Amino acid sequence: METSRPPGSPNFARSDGRVVSSPPKVRKDGPAATIRTPTRELGALVVEPGTPTRGRARTAPLRREGPEKLTGEARYADDLVFPGAWFGGTIRSTEPHARLLAIDRADDFDWSRVVVVTAADIPGENIVASIHDDQPVLVPVGGEILHHAEPLALVAAPDRETLREAKKRLIVSTQRLEPVFDPLASDVVFAHYEIVRGDVDGAMAGAHLVLEGTYRVNHQEQLYIENNAMIAVPRDDGGVTVTGSLQCPYYVHGALKRALALTDRQAVVVQAETGGGFGGKEEFPSVVAIHAALLAKACRRPVRMIYERHEDIAASTKRHPAIVMHRTGVAADGTILAQDIEVVMDGGAYTTLSPVVLSRGTIHAGGPYRCPNVRVRSRAVRTNTPPNGAFRGFGAPQVEFAAETHLNRIADALDVSPLEIRRRNAYREGDTTPTGQVLRESVAAHEVLEKAAEAADFPTKRRLSARGRAERAANPGWARSARGVGLALGWHGAGFTGSGEVRLGSVVSIVLTAEGEIRVLTAATEMGQGTKTILPGLAADALGVDLDRVELVPVDTSIVPDSGPTVASRTTMVVGGLVILAARELRAKVEGATGRSFAESYRDHASRNGDLRVDRRFEPYPGISFDDATYTGDAYPAFGWAAAVADVEVDLDTGEVIVHEVVAVDDVGHVIHPVLAEGQVEGGTLQAVGYATIEEMKLDDGRYVNDRLSTYIIPTALDAPRLRTILVEVPFSGAPHGAKGVGELPMDVGAPAVIAAIADATGAWVTELPATPERILAALGVTPLRAVS
Amino acid sequence: MTAYRLLINGDPVELDVPGMRRLLDVLREDLALSGTKEGCGEGECGACSVLVDGAVVDSCLVPVCQVDGHAILTVEGLAERLPDGATALSALQEAFWTAGAAQCGICTPGMLVAARAYLDHGGGPDDMSIREAIAGNLCRCTGYTKIVEAIAIAATPQSGGGT
């Protein structure tokens, strides 16, 4: 392994300094320091549903890689040592749309000191393998540049200073072409869908009221604190091993094979400790990995491709901006009779994952509400801006912000409370969704709604804010701030959309080695959410052995099977489910052969019979099917349900918002690990609060203007509201542990709850995210929702 | 180049490096102390936080010449050294572990040293004071709830106190 550090030597070959005397090492190389184990017992991971989560937290095992992360021992990509490594860099477009005419090397530089790679040097196909394969690894000379910061050439140098010099001396000539920035004006469509159910026009005609509204959301940056980073090392077999920060090792593996013309075995992808992903390291790392690999092959040595923050924000994918138009027919009591929805997503310059982001957005567009007459039309289009891609929620936060805000405005128009209108319309078991999916089980919309309203004391707070509005109306200019409370309800399909899981055909393996070790092999990555704790825990529980008996094998594509990407809230539910099934099979085999319990007999059995391996492939959940051609059927095996209540204060002079508290209630099927599950809800909720209030990418001529952490602002500990999390458990019978996803669910409801709270405080609806002070002040002068019939 | 003398995690170190070399690079690259992370390189995220004579600084903004003769504490210096040479998690680190305050872990080293400075200056379990103490350290995973909880645990005398 290339990652071991030669004892006593300076860390990096790139160091331009000299250590005269180094401190005695606090930590020794090799095994981690002796860690004093906390006194609490490590209990069973899976317990019966209904056990109070607070009580369970005390028995849940601690994060497995915790000690490494708490001592600085954990090795992220940029911490890894590769002796003799060069530094890689990327030459990028400074135009949003142009013809690439030439890339010239200046005469006043010794080019033998560096390696330059252009499109002409790509041994395989010049594509970043994804859904449509339309994105080039590097724009070829004569080719079309489609966005600002698009990669044009690569450089590697033995040190950073030489790299900087060389990059300056590559001269790019372009001819500017007319860019398109407005998604409504774009005629290049990456994907489009239409869902039609019932008679929308007829139902609208018979409605008590038809209300329409348009909602906009803008780019959001994932802002993992660890930037994108990859190190590529040439292999003796002509291939390349890439180690880095990533969510989906087999996406990177597939992309390397295509671009570098490698076989399965020649392309090896290893995950380093990963400092956050949130979708931002779903597809984009393929680009970084290919670039690093091309340079490593060209200079025949390891190449470090470590982004700085500015480059990371400028070049990497963002959450899709969207424009969502709603036209809704309702009865006088607030019952939804018809929904006509149009969704336009801005995909940026290349397709990346837009078709699947849009698909999820389309299916979730109506919100978690029963409606017999629905039409959803959607499209994702090309603009000359950097490509957009995966980000926690994956199309759902955009459309659910629109659906929830629209429903709240309908409630206002009908003078029905936001709680009451949801009680009338939220899904119950047996209801049918727009794709024709009958929700047969695990429907917790009403439970999360009531729990959130009660925990936040929503009705009382609503009365207080109404009184505040009345007092301010009676005494204009009297108050300088206003308090309000807002409610949102959401749903999130767990796992891949439609037949995605069936197509993936994920595999996990468990090996009982001859030495009596139990090893779990999956491609599921740890990026903070708890994979390294959850998966071995599920295996240990199913085998009836202590957690410390089970090893989770490091993610390395030369060792682990393809258990799919670590995305779509699928790791605990889908991969974890497969781990349980594989473990049960292993247990049955051993117990069948020995006639004794697995725990008592597996070591003996292993020493007598040698390695025993069980591979388990995904099989469709019973009774779940989706027809891609007609876009009908069971879009997801199950949905998670979430409600949030936000309590905000708005400064009426400046438009500034303080979010004081968010109560988040999430149904995750079955809680496997309360502390980790709460961590997902808390983190997702704060990202949603940032989305609602302060996070905004500003563009000028297709370039992100605020591509730095001093200008793209995320919430600090002082900005963050108090987060109260309540976990609800309505198990999904198709998964052996009853668990549904948790990662994305909280991201769907936080923003509309905050916007509703701002409206409750001020009486004004902000219809575009984020609700910046400027937008809030503008909304305070805007006319209310218009009735069109 | 001039030789600089620093006390790093209690150990004296002498370095021949350019004076304007960032303390962050000296730690990570010259001294193999890669626990301190770089998140933005411009003093916004706090991932590179270390203590200089007990005060929290962003090591990406500090040239090594500025800390000549000073004491630096990094995440690697937080664990307790036991008499037998092994190390054990400090009460603060253990509180982070048990409360679930570390998720992806990339902000954790900076967060821990900021918390350590807060506790060393007599900070208590008060929510707002803790939040002010870590407001210079961004975390994208946790929503800060469990980080604040962990620091409050470590700041509560009956929990064993200490850092």
Query: Which of A315, A337, A371 is at the close of a domain?
Result: A315
Of A364-378, A644-658, A769-783, B64-78, the least confident: A769-783
Q: Is residue A532 part of a domain?
A: yes
State both tokens at B133: 């103490």
Contact B97 A63 (CB under 8 A): yes
Contact A17 B26 (CB under 8 A): yes
Q: Is residue A34 part of a domain?
A: no
Q: Domain B2-77 belongs to what architecture?
A: Roll (3.10)
Residue A156 near residue A292, CB atoms below 8 Å: no
Q: What is the mean pLDDT of residues A529-546?
A: 96
Of A498-502, A677-681, B51-55, the least confident: A498-502
Assess whether A473 and A561 both reside in one domain.
no
Alpha-carbon distance A249 to A516, whole Å?
Answer: 28
**pLDDT tier for residue A479 given thresholds of 50, 70 and 90:** confident
On the question of pLDDT at A268 being above 90, the answer is yes
Residue A337, min C-alpha distance to chain B (Å): 38
Spell out which residues of chain B touch residue A53, defining contact as CB-CB under 8 Å.
none
Residue B51, min C-alpha distance to chain A (Å): 15
Contact A40 B98 (CB under 8 A): yes
SS3 A58: coil
Q: What is the pLDDT of residue A781?
A: 80
Identify from A71, A531, A533, A747 which residue to disrupt to test chain B contact, counting B C-beta atoms within 10 A and taking the largest count: A71
Higher-confidence residue of A433 and A781: namely A433
Assess whether A395 and A472 both reside in one domain.
yes
Q: What is the pLDDT of residue A60?
A: 86
Fold of the domain spanning B80-157: DNA polymerase; domain 1 (1.10.150)
| Domain total in chain A | 3
pLDDT in tens, B107-138: 999 999 999 999 999 999 999 999 999 999 99
A73 inside 8 A of chain B by CB: yes
Q: Is residue A39 part of a domain?
A: no
Of A295, A301, A235, A236, the C-alpha closest to A14 is A301
Domain residue limits, chain B: 2-77, 80-157
Alpha-carbon distance A293 to A295, whole Å?
Answer: 5
Assess whether A591 and A705 both reside in one domain.
no
Q: Is residue A101 part of a domain?
A: yes
Provide the angle, in degrees to the nearest 10, between the axes of the packed helices B145-155 and B91-99: 140
Pairing, β B49-52 against β B55-58: antiparallel
The dihedral built from the CA positions of residue A346, A352, A354 and A357, taken in this order, carries a sign that is negative
Contact A23 B88 (CB under 8 A): no
Q: ipTM value of the model?
A: 0.97
- Closest residue of chain A to B20, computed from CA coordinates: A17
Q: Is residue A22 part of a domain?
A: no
On the question of pLDDT at B96 being above 90, the answer is yes
CB < 8 Å from B in window 654-713 of A: 675-676, 678-679, 682-687, 708-710
State both tokens at A496: 């891949």
Query: Which of A294, A315, A336 is at the close of a domain?
Result: A315
How many other C-beta atoms lie within 10 A of the C-beta of residue A786?
A: 9
Contact A675 B17 (CB under 8 A): no
Q: What is the pLDDT of residue B85?
A: 82
Under 8 Å CB pairs connecting chains A and B tally to 243
Of A50-59, A330-339, A438-447, B2-11, the least confident: A50-59
Assess whether A560 and A463 both reside in one domain.
no
**What are residue A521's DSSP bridge partners?**
A509
Number of helices (H), then strands (E), belonging to chain A: the values are 19, 28
Tell me what percent of the residues of chain B surpass a pLDDT of 90.
90
Alpha-carbon distance A202 to A206, whole Å?
Answer: 7
Task: For residue A124, give its domain range.
Answer: 86-179+225-315
Q: What is the DSSP letter of A699?
A: E
Contact B8 A23 (CB under 8 A): yes
| Cα-based angle A89, A94, A97 (whole degrees, multiple of 5) | 125
**pLDDT tier for residue A50 given thresholds of 50, 70 and 90:** low
Assess whether A769 and A644 both reside in one domain.
yes
How many other C-beta atoms lie within 10 A of the C-beta of residue A368?
A: 31
Alpha-carbon distance A650 to A647, whole Å?
Answer: 10
State both tokens at A419: 């709680």
Contact B104 A709 (CB under 8 A): no
Query: Which of A617, A652, A669 is at the close of a domain?
Result: A617
SS3 B105: coil
Contact A79 B18 (CB under 8 A): no
Of A26, A687, A709, the CB nearest to B44: A709
Q: Is residue A199 part of a domain?
A: no
**What are residue A519's DSSP bridge partners?**
A511, A551
**pLDDT tier for residue A43 given thresholds of 50, 70 and 90:** very low
Residue A71, min C-alpha distance to chain B (Å): 6
Contacts of residue A55, defined as CB under 8 A and 6 or more positions apart, other chains included, come to none
Assess whether A121 and A256 both reside in one domain.
yes
CATH number for the domain harbouring residue A94: 3.30.365.10
Spell out which residues of chain B touch residue A750, defining contact as CB-CB under 8 Å.
none
Alpha-carbon distance A408 to A411, whole Å?
Answer: 5
Phi, then psi, of A341 in degrees rounded to 5: -130, 135
Contacts of residue A617, defined as CB under 8 A and 6 or more positions apart, other chains included, come to A505, A506, A507, A578
Assess whether A329 and A457 both reside in one domain.
yes
Spell out which residues of chain A touch residue B42, defining contact as CB-CB under 8 Å.
309, 708-710
Q: Is residue A231 part of a domain?
A: yes
Assess whether A493 and A552 both reside in one domain.
no
Alpha-carbon distance B106 to B36, whole Å?
Answer: 9
Alpha-carbon distance A288 to A109, whole Å?
Answer: 26
Assess whether A678 and A732 both reside in one domain.
yes
Alpha-carbon distance A27 to A7, whole Å?
Answer: 12
Of B18, B96, B142, the CB nearest to A70: B96
Assess whether A403 and A481 both reside in one domain.
yes
Which conformational region is residue A389 in: left (phi greater than 0), alpha (psi within -120 to 50 degrees), or beta? Answer: beta
Assess whether A482 and A588 both reside in one domain.
no
| Cα-based angle A329, A331, A335 (whole degrees, multiple of 5) | 90
CA A776 to chain centre: 28
On the question of pLDDT at A7 being above 90, the answer is no
pLDDT in tens, A146-168: 999 999 999 999 999 999 999 99
Assess whether A471 and A567 both reside in one domain.
no
Of B14, B105, B148, the CB nearest to A275: B105
Cis geometry, peptide bond prior to residue A770 (ω within 30 degrees of 0): yes
Specify the residue for token string 């004491």.
Answer: B71
Q: What is the pLDDT of residue A600?
A: 97
Of A26, A687, A722, the CB nearest to B77: A26
